[in-house]
């Protein structure tokens, strides 16, 4: 089953590379903790004015830490742990149905040559990203 799973991951990489899909895992909690932590630290060190300054600096730092962290989806897919690869495989195979292929190249050719199937696989891939990875999707810079 591993070669077929690798074929499906390869297909997803090809589709996401063609569409230039980038993904960012949301880190809003981390940004909020930084902003709040610096506001508290500012309050301890500088009283009410320290809270304002610490909150402002923390907010900017939190924004900087969590922005612009989009990575190409093929890179993320290649780094998926085995359990996540299995979930992705199951989601995509559900769309592929009875489609039979011998290797990754043939699978890519079959899917890319069928507009409807290509759209269905892309939709399943994006749903997986949003649901399982809880990630934000961005197309082409």
Q: What is the per-residue pLDDT for 141?
A: 53
How much is the mean pLDDT over the chain?
84
Angle among Cα 96, 98, 101 to the nearest 5 degrees reads 80
Q: What is the per-residue pLDDT for 71?
A: 78
The string of pLDDT tens digits covering residues 66-116 is 665 677 888 888 888 899 999 999 999 999 988 999 999 999 999 999 999
Cα–Cα distance, 14 to 12 (Å, whole number):
5
Q: What is the per-residue pLDDT for 113?
A: 94
- Is the predicted pLDDT of residue 49 greater than 80, yes or no? yes
Q: What is the per-residue pLDDT for 72?
A: 84
């Amino acid at each position: 089953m591993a070669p077929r799973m690798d074929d499906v991951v390869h297909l997803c990489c090809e589709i996401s590379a063609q569409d230039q899909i980038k993904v960012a895992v949301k880190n809003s909690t981390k940004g909020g903790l930084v902003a709040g932590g610096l506001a508290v630290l500012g309050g301890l060190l500088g009283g009410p004015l320290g809270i304002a300054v610490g909150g402002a600096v923390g907010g900017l730092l939190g924004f900087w830490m969590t922005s612009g962290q989009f990575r190409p989806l093929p890179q993320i897919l290649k780094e998926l742990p085995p359990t996540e690869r299995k979930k992705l495989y199951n989601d995509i195979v559900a769309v592929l149905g009875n489609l039979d292929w011998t290797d990754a190249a043939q699978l890519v050719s079959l899917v890319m040559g069928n507009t409807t199937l290509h759209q269905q696989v892309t939709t399943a891939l994006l749903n997986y990203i949003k649901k399982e990875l809880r990630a934000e999707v961005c197309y082409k810079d």
